[in-house]
Amino acid sequence: MQLEGPLRKMSTYYGEEIRYTLRLGDDLLFMNALLGRNIEISFNGNHTCFCGHLVSEVYRQNFCRECFFTKPEASPTIMKPELSQAHLGIEERDLEFEKRLQLQPHYVYLAKTDRIKVGVTRNTQMPFRWMDQGAKSAAILLEVPNRYIAGEAEVALKNHFVDKTSWQAMLKDDSTDEDLMESIETAKSLLPEHLKQFIFKDSVEWYFNYPIKHQIKKVKSMNLKAPDDRVQGELWGIRGQYIITENGVFNVRSHSGFMVKMKVT
């Protein structure tokens, strides 16, 4: 089986075991079914930006030069919700886009991987965001009306909870023993008074079970950088947006837009 096209992040489906699909060109692969098979991904040196342009050089998050400096999808607010200003009617790059994105309900959550982290996501991205992170479990702390307030809560909790976790530890399944729901209670008590009205009632802990055939002990990262680079190996599992093989791990999301050929044997 040989497929070709720009890599995009895998789609996830929640269930007893998380299911992953990968779209490549016109094909849709059900990745769980490929565990135990040999996978080879080779890079032809070009990238397709989300705007459709084919380019040989990309900026952070694989945007082409023009998108990186001008499109609202690539603006600094995307990474830092606390910089949001659409609720004040202030434009960053495209006020209509920013209003659509920012002035909608968001969740502030705690997720457990190697540690317990605090994060922010649009309501519509849940539980997908957690599966993309490879979280072991997660629970909602607050439901707020816009992205700015979510960012404010996140900043208030950053002194106590981390906002980044180690992907290496996540892939080795090194996880904290801390109880997530106890941490939710701690977080509630740490919130500034004016944010307590947004506490999410009846929060439950969601658990995520990834398709993993062999648990890796050592994490070796495999990357595509130059034309003709290739990664290959027997597929051992998938967690977050990582393909785990006998030879190392491959982050699909960080290669989004890379023009590749994929062979499954």
Min dist CB 68 to Zn ion, Å, is: 8
Min dist CB 257 to Zn ion, Å, is: 9
Min dist CB 58 to Zn ion, Å, is: 9
d(CA 152, CA 188): 14
Across the beta sheet with 137-144, the strand order is: 116-122, 106-112, 137-144, 206-207
Residue closer to Zn ion by CB (options 6, 119) is 6
Min dist CB 53 to Zn ion, Å, is: 5
Residue closer to Zn ion by CB (options 44, 61) is 61
Min dist CB 52 to Zn ion, Å, is: 7
Residue closer to Zn ion by CB (options 53, 115) is 53
The burial class, CB within 10 Å (0-12 / 13-18 / 19+), for 84 is: buried
Min dist CB 196 to Zn ion, Å, is: 42
Residue closer to Zn ion by CB (options 64, 149) is 64
Min dist CB 74 to Zn ion, Å, is: 9
Residue closer to Zn ion by CB (options 52, 89) is 52
Residue closer to Zn ion by CB (options 13, 69) is 69
Min dist CB 8 to Zn ion, Å, is: 14
For 157, phi and psi rounded to 5 degrees? -95, -10
The amino acid sitting at 87 is H
The 3-class SS string of the chain reads: CEEEEECCCCEEECCCCCEEEEEECCEEEEHHHHCCCEEEEEEEEEEECCCCCEECCCCHHHCCHHHHHHCHHHCHHHCCHHHCCHHHCCCCCCHHHHHHHHCCCEEEEEEECCCEEEEEEEHHHCCHHHHHHCCCEEEEEEEECCHHHHHHHHHHHCCCCECCCCHHHHHHCCCCCCCHHHHHHHHHHHCCHHHHHHECCCCCCEECCCCECCCCCCCCECCCCCCCCEEEEEEEEEECCEEEECCEEEECHHHCCEEEEEEEC
Q: Site residues (CB under 5 A) for Zn ion?
A: 49, 51, 53, 64, 67
Residue closer to Zn ion by CB (options 146, 256) is 256
Residue closer to Zn ion by CB (options 64, 180) is 64
